[in-house]
């Protein structure tokens, strides 16, 4: 703490514990607030200047039944005991409890941002201690993670040493980037590209989507690129875009069934009994000839 002084909060519903503070709040209202309230200010700077004027008047006026003022008492007794202020300004730290999710991240509810912890703590309840610049994460009073605070909503702050070995290996594999998977999908077709794009943009740590992207792209070697493109076209409107869903469509030949139904509908439209547009020409057309 500043000046090597600790602060102890007063007890609840014990006004005598803070009698001096309550008394000076009343003095501030009488000698400062009541005077400023009667004046008109056109800016916050103007208001602060008026408050400071009345505050200086209060501090330099003799105290009741005493020969000295508050300012004189400060200069004689308190100022000589003051030390240098710390180089860094004091920041209030806040605390919050959270449970480590299966993706070894905890969420700071105030910002809805997620921070990683070592994966060994999955399922444990931890304490987040944070201020404006840092986020510390403790388990049983031991700090297990330290992050720079990030205010991006639904974003992820992840340290590589917190990841399991398999996840670390993925991030180190050459060419495994969002751009790589998008370029592979573009070779297959626009629907596959949209699927990969939506998976990458999902609200998860980007590198954790690489296995899913890799699995989807590799389905072309088993089912052909044409069938994979058709399966992606089927799954896009559903919004349930996962590797398992696309693989199930291909395993059950749903892409072939829908393609077959489309061909049948096209064939029906070309039936000889279906009238053409000539049958709907208006009788008032001068060129109309029913024969």
Report, as an integer, the average pLDDT of 38-64.
Answer: 92
Instruction: Please report which confidence band the pLDDT of residue 284 belongs to, taking 50, 70 and 90 as the band edges.
Output: very low
Q: Output the pLDDT for position 161.
A: 87
Instruction: Please report which confidence band the pLDDT of residue 270 belongs to, taking 50, 70 and 90 as the band edges.
Output: low
Report, as an integer, the average pLDDT of 51-67.
Answer: 91
Instruction: List pLDDT tens digits, range 19-29.
Output: 888 888 899 99
3-state secondary structure of 286: coil
Strands 156-157 and 113-116: parallel
Instruction: List pLDDT tens digits, range 105-133.
Output: 999 988 989 999 999 999 999 999 999 99
What is the three-state SS of 47-101?
Answer: HHHHHHHHHHHHHHCECCCCCCEHHHHHHHHHHHHCCCCCCCCCCCCEEEEEECC
Q: Output the pLDDT for position 2.
A: 57
Instruction: List pLDDT tens digits, range 215-242.
Output: 999 999 989 999 999 999 999 998 888 8
Q: Output the pLDDT for position 193.
A: 93
Stated as kind and residue range, the H or E segment containing 22 is helix 19-28
pLDDT at 279 over 80: no
Stated as kind and residue range, the H or E segment containing 271 is none
Tokens standing for residue 159: 């340290």
């Amino acid at each position: 703490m500043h000046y090597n002084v600790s602060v102890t909060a007063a007890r609840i519903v014990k006004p005598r514990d803070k009698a001096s503070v309550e008394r000076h709040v009343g003095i501030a209202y009488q000698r400062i607030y009541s005077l400023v309230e009667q004046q008109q200010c056109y800016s916050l700077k103007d208001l602060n200047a008026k408050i400071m004027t009345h505050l200086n008047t209060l501090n330099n006026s003799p105290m009741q039944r005493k020969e000295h003022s508050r300012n004189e008492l400060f200069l004689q007794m308190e100022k000589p005991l003051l030390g240098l202020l710390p180089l860094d300004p004091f920041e209030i730290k806040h605390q919050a409890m959270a449970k480590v999710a299966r993706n070894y991240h905890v969420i700071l509810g105030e910002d809805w941002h997620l921070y990683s912890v070592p994966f060994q703590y999955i399922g444990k309840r931890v304490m987040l201690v944070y201020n404006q610049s840092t986020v510390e994460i403790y388990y049983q009073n031991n700090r297990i993670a330290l992050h720079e605070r990030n205010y991006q909503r639904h974003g992820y702050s992840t340290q590589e040493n917190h990841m399991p070995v398999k996840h670390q290996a993925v991030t180190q594999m050459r060419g495994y980037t969002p751009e790589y998977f998008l370029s592979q999908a573009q070779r297959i077709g626009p629907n596959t590209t949209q699927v990969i794009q939506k998976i990458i943009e999902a609200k998860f740590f980007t590198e954790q989507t690489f296995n899913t992207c890799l699995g989807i792209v590799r389905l072309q070697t088993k089912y052909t690129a044409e069938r994979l493109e058709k399966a992606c076209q089927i799954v896009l409107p559903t919004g349930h875009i996962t590797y398992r869903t696309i693989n199930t469509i291909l395993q059950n030949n749903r892409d072939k069934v829908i393609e077959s139904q489309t061909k049948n509908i096209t064939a029906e439209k070309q039936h000889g009994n279906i009238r053409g547009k000539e049958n709907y020409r208006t009788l008032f057309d001068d060129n109309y000839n029913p024969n």
